[in-house]
Amino acid sequence: MKDGGVVKSKCVVALGLPSDMIGNLSNAYDVVAWPETQPMPQAVLQDRLTDAHGLLCALSTPINAALLENASRLQVISTVSVGVDHIDITAATRLGIPVGHTPGVLVDSTADLTLGLMLAVTRRMAEADRWIRAGNWAQGWQSDLLLGTDLSQATVGIVGLGAIGQAVIRRLQGFGSTVLAWNRTPRHMDGVQMVELNELFARSDVVSLHTAMTPETTHTVDRDRLASMRSGAALINTGRGLLVDEAALIDEVCSGRLNAGLDVFSVEPLRPGHPFLSQENVVLLPHVGSATASTRLAMVGRALENLHAGMAGQALPYCANPEVYPISDS
């Protein structure tokens, strides 16, 4: 598209952004935006990427090899997320397309939310809220009403000692919880007992997932590990839904043996009638681990940095596949 005689590069924006941001992008690029709240359909995305130079997207936009192979002019993919498991990174790298992401800006917001889910589950907060709203609080104090468990007295197992897992542990230490941890590579944190994964599940009152999503970590939490957890224990997941065998977890929470606090799911959004929706012992959030105003602003800022760099033919400051760039001899 020409603007005053200048041909602008085409940029597809496959997520909702404030109008002022779209306006600023339009000053630099021929922007094709998606105004809907639902994800851009794959057929629409494929059509719009045919002659696009840049793509700004989020976790709700799957980017597969077929889409990328059809986008012969694509110079950069920038996702407003830390995780990139919605993008075929192997295909992007093979085709020479750098993929930008937003690491380092959502650690504290996600760690805070994780602690919130732990407390909501162990102290039955969401259940108590629903109980009051249903008009059930018709009498005074009762000694056995909505009894929960103390996080300060709990043994909490942390699966994955990346930045978020470590931030969760620092918060738990303030509560006085006993903390167990497992990581794929050896790590040390003061006051934390490193154990094997199976032992962590068997000993913990609460298990919280913070490992990266890879083909190897799919269903890390399988039926056997769930079965090994103590009766009444809780699984907290603010990582990725596919870390968990969801069918096995459904069986455990529907039986009442386990509790759960979930911000992520194997398929998002949850379909109407999903078994989790009817369970009082499951606290559900709609993938909002990073949902604070400051964190989302920082994420979009980093995504735009990546987008601008890629559109200018420069190396991305936050690149998920740095191997796309040739190694310099200097």
DSSP string, 171-233: HHHHHT-EEEEE-SS----TTEEE--HHHHHHH-SEEEE-----TTTTTSB-HHHHHHSPTT-
Specify whether the CB–CB gap between 305 and 317 falls below 8 A. Answer: yes
The catalytic position among 36, 69, 196, 268 is 268
The catalytic position among 171, 287, 296, 305 is 287
CA–CA separation, 315 and 321 (whole Å): 11
Specify whether the CB–CB gap between 293 and 269 falls below 8 A. Answer: no
DSSP state of 291: -
Q: How far is CA 263 from CA 43, 222, 291, 309, in A?
A: 28, 18, 11, 32
CA–CA separation, 111 and 31 (whole Å): 35
CA 228 to chain centre: 26
Residue 319 bridge partners (DSSP): 100
The catalytic position among 101, 203, 240, 308 is 240
Structure tokens at 17: 């952004």
Catalytic site residue 73?
no
Q: Residues, the chain, total?
A: 330
CA–CA separation, 253 and 259 (whole Å): 6
Angle at 79 between CA 78 and CA 83, to 5 degrees: 130
Catalytic site residue 268?
yes
Specify whether the CB–CB gap between 225 and 196 falls below 8 A. Answer: no
Catalytic residues: 240, 268, 287
